[in-house]
Chains A and B, each alone.
Chain A
């Protein structure tokens, strides 16, 4: 059983970055480690109910940034937060979660696997003592710690009214850079991000741009972002070609490719096995890792 440690303000371990922010927490409860003050840190935040596009992008940014030595700070929430942290762990990078409850409580529960992995390979941080329940007013407050621990905040997907925008506002108050992932103007989930860009936030086209913003030479690719040559058969290519990040049903695929249903089923499964596509919801398919 992992022990919770307490780092009070004034102790040497207390993060330097937090000392500077408004309403700094008097102390932090930690399981695992605290972020390395020497290494750069990026907070990746976004909607809990996100699209396949957001999920895939969050994972990619988390992975590429972490592979280049950037620490990923997030909130272990469903959706974008969890995906970004999973991406970072995939690249064997370090990632830290700031919770809105005691660090002995895994909230949301379905991220338990991630929570345990974070304790082993990164850290789980909170200003609340053990046993404190995740009540809703804790979450806006913990956002100041997420942005406070980071050098740069990246918003992946956010509706017009979103907790992620609170994090972005706090980051600006704290004098950090804010980047947002652009999306289609008609997508409600991209409204918040597009609005941030209109207000002057950086445009996160590719992870490399963020690295540049942090002054890190882009060296290591994560090995996955590179165009991989997966040998596909002719029909597989035509099915793959008609998919994008908007979920498509088997019927729509059949209408475009004019292939018989059994063949479409077979191709969809083999593409899933080759990790080219995934089933976003029952019977709806999207591409994985849309190349930028």
Chain B
């Protein structure tokens, strides 16, 4: 008897359909598994055998052959236990063959016959909808996650016995249902973080607002303990709320990495990733023998925060350059090429020198060469991608005890959302989405200046010894500031503010 069940294998963050076939024939009583299997899939036969026996099913004294195709994809992961068991059950005639059509099954089995959760279910469920499956049988603990895919019937199961009963229509299992809109709004509380917690630091908060509004990358410079990390951590609270599509995109990545909280279903907050400075190139970009998304993909649609940037290894920093342009990362391994999304906003923080106190000459113990060496660790091309540079100054005690609350994140988010909307309308039908993405040619088109402003910029250019590239940076940021102001034209005050965000100290940087 022959039977076939549809399952899926996760490749990168997408899934590919895998058909699991079982055939029972006369011969020696062995179970043969073929189809380019990783060892965890080969081990499935022992789990399946025990789980079935412990569910009260006696395997016949016959030869069982299991095949997973397409045979040229290496099947890895533990989600094939349940489909293999189902296919054998189908071949045994214990479940009706017509109930296995247009059904996708995934899940791991314990020896006792329980169904255990697996990683990457969202990608699998998204695949199921794409391949026009009616129903998707998944472990109970993954059911909410899979149910986030709209228009798909998801059945969460706890034991193998339950699966058999369900497929034989002996028990009716309720399909899992989540209201995605509800999920999104549920996740509103940002972990109690708010910009109102930060006392003072108005200039930096403003810089963060401008950076987020135009999706400019942000560099924070300041002595230790002044709140650089605190400010960066709150950037997600002023980014616009996630849409359903965005939320699904992020959840897919986290699902593949096994980083979803149990029972969480969807990622509802913008990610904030802050890898330690010892992070390797592969951990940052994604990699491994079977590539998995790295930190830059985990920060997709959120913030990648690099604290103490000069301490990061050079290759690790340089690897950021290409994904920052293309918003995806391509990883090539001998098993194939993978593309992971990596559309993140970069926020970086650093001390102004090794001891952290320059230019406070009373405290700083570094000499010029040391400062230069310290700042020189960040390459020019990476600095070029940092449109906004802000100083986080130390504060006096009197101001620390000032208990007046600053502006709340919600109020800032409101302004940011309006600025994003203006940009969305302006760049409709162009490859751009945000001001930070404007190329020099596009700057000429979208950042036009009046006569007065032109003269002002020329004067600043001359006086402050700016480079052409610095000038472009100023124009992009000025465009964002004007958008925040609701102004169609870029005025002198917008330019002035943008100039103040340029990279400091040309003595040390170019």
Report which A residues bind B (CB closer than 8 A).
48-52, 78-79, 108, 110, 186-189, 247, 249-252, 254-255, 261-263, 265-266, 268-270, 272-273, 275, 279-284
Contact = CB atoms under 8 A, between A and B. Distances in A.
A189 B367 CA distance: 13
Contacts of A79: 368
27 contacts: A49-B361, A188-B362, A189-B361, A247-B360, A249-B391, A250-B202, A251-B200, A251-B395, A254-B202, A255-B399, A261-B202, A262-B493, A262-B497, A263-B493, A265-B493, A266-B496, A268-B500, A269-B499, A273-B463, A281-B359, A281-B391, A282-B503, A282-B505, A283-B221, A283-B504, A284-B391, A284-B393
A272 B464 contact: yes
Nearest to B372: A110
A265 B391 contact: no
Contacts of B460: 269, 273
A108 B367 CA distance: 13
Give me the 9 closest cross-chain CB pairs, A-B, nearest first: A283-B391, A282-B504, A249-B393, A281-B359, A250-B203, A266-B496, A269-B496, A265-B497, A265-B500
B282 interface: no
Contacts of A268: 500
Contact of B368 (A78, A252, A255): A78
A284 B359 contact: yes
B504 A279 contact: yes
Contacts of A78: 368
Interface string B458-480: 01100110000000000000000
Interface of B: 200-203, 206, 221, 352, 358-362, 364, 366-368, 389-391, 393, 395, 399, 459-460, 463-464, 492-493, 496-497, 499-500, 503-505, 507
Of B361, B493, B507, chain A has the most CB atoms within 10 Å of the CB of B361
A122 to B, nearest CB: 23
Given A49-B361, A262-B497, A284-B391, A273 B459 contact: yes
Nearest to A280: B359
Given A265-B497, A266-B496, A282-B504, A251 B393 contact: yes
B188 to A, nearest CB: 29
Given A49-B367, A269-B496, A252 B393 contact: yes
Contacts of B459: 273
Contact of B203 (A266, A269, A273, A283): A283
A82 B58 CA distance: 92
Contacts of B464: 272
Given A187-B362, A261-B202, A283-B203, 5 more contacts: A48-B367, A250-B202, A250-B500, A265-B496, A281-B504
A57 to B, nearest CB: 14
A110, A262, A281: residue with the most chain B Cβ atoms closer than 10 Å: A281
A270 B496 contact: yes
Contacts of A189: 361
A189 B364 CA distance: 11
Contacts of A281: 352, 358-359, 391, 504-505
A263 B493 CA distance: 8
A254 B496 CA distance: 16
Given A249-B391, A282-B352, A188 B361 contact: yes
Contact of B497 (A49, A108, A186, A266): A266
B48 to A, nearest CB: 63
A282 B368 contact: no
Nearest to A281: B359
B223 to A, nearest CB: 11
A92 to B, nearest CB: 21
Most chain A CB within 10 A, of B203, B206, B362, B460, is at: B203
A282 B496 contact: no
A55 to B, nearest CB: 11
A247 B507 CA distance: 17
Given A48-B368, A282-B391, A261 B496 contact: no
A282 B221 contact: yes
Nearest to A157: B361
